[in-house]
Amino acid sequence: MTQPERGVTPLPQAKRRRRSPLPSILGGGALLGLAAFLAFGSLGQSLEYFKTPSEYQLEQSTLAGKPLRLGGLAQAAEYDPQTLNLSFQLTDGSVTYPVQYTGAVSDMFQEGQGVVVRGRFSESAQGADPGVFQADELIVKHSEEYKVPETQAEIDQLKDLLESAE
């Protein structure tokens, strides 16, 4: 190392300038806000709610001709397994609409069962009567109870069902 010359005083150690944490906090907050916007901003668009028949009746003028989901209880169901045509009445206890659906129907579908149908009312409807609801999709509410097989026969039946599904 070199010795400082005599008579020359060494310079004092330079002081580090302390940085303000404000830019880091603002940047982190902006990133967090952007992530929240991306995560939850489109969430409202992807959620799908259903209307009850009474709610549809009140909002019929704004919902007419638009695809929507109706939910309620199925009544007076008629199903033809050959043509896969299902017709039933959808009610919430005060308002009832006829529904037509073509497609496979779950074994859980029965009268008095809660269902949600997606589709639209037929174009031929005029005036206050919206006509028949033409369903493209049928969602059946199922029981939330899980029943454990109690006998060996029930276990064997469940195994056979699972093997046939594969």
pLDDT score, position 56: 82
pTM: 0.57
pLDDT score, position 156: 83
Q: How far apart are CA 66 and CA 68, in angstroms?
A: 6
Question: Which residues are documented as binding site for heme?
Answer: 142, 146
Write the secondary structure of the chain as one string of H (helix), E (strand) and C (coil).
CCCCCCCCCCCCCCCCCCCCCHHHHHHHHHHHHHHHHHHHHCHHHHCCCCECHHHHHHCHHHHCCCCEEEEEEEEEEEEECCCCEEEEEEECCCCEEEEEEECCCCCCCCCCCEEEEEEEECCCCCCCCCCCEEEEEEEECCCCCCCCCCCHHHHHHHHHHHHHHC
pLDDT at 34 over 60: yes
What is the CATH class of 53-140?
Answer: mainly beta
For the segment 88-109, what is each residue's pLDDT rounded down to a tens digit?
A: 888 888 888 888 888 888 777 7
Tokens of 28: 């982190």
For the segment 8-22, what is each residue's pLDDT rounded down to a tens digit?
A: 778 888 788 888 888
Backbone phi, psi, residue 147, to 5°: -110, 120
pLDDT score, position 2: 60
Question: Which residues are documented as binding site?
Answer: 142, 146
How many other C-beta atoms can be found within 10 angstroms of the C-beta atom of residue 107? 6
pLDDT score, position 79: 83
pLDDT at 110 over 90: no
Higher pLDDT, 49 or 52: 52
pLDDT score, position 29: 92
| pLDDT confidence bin for 32, thresholds 50/70/90 | very high
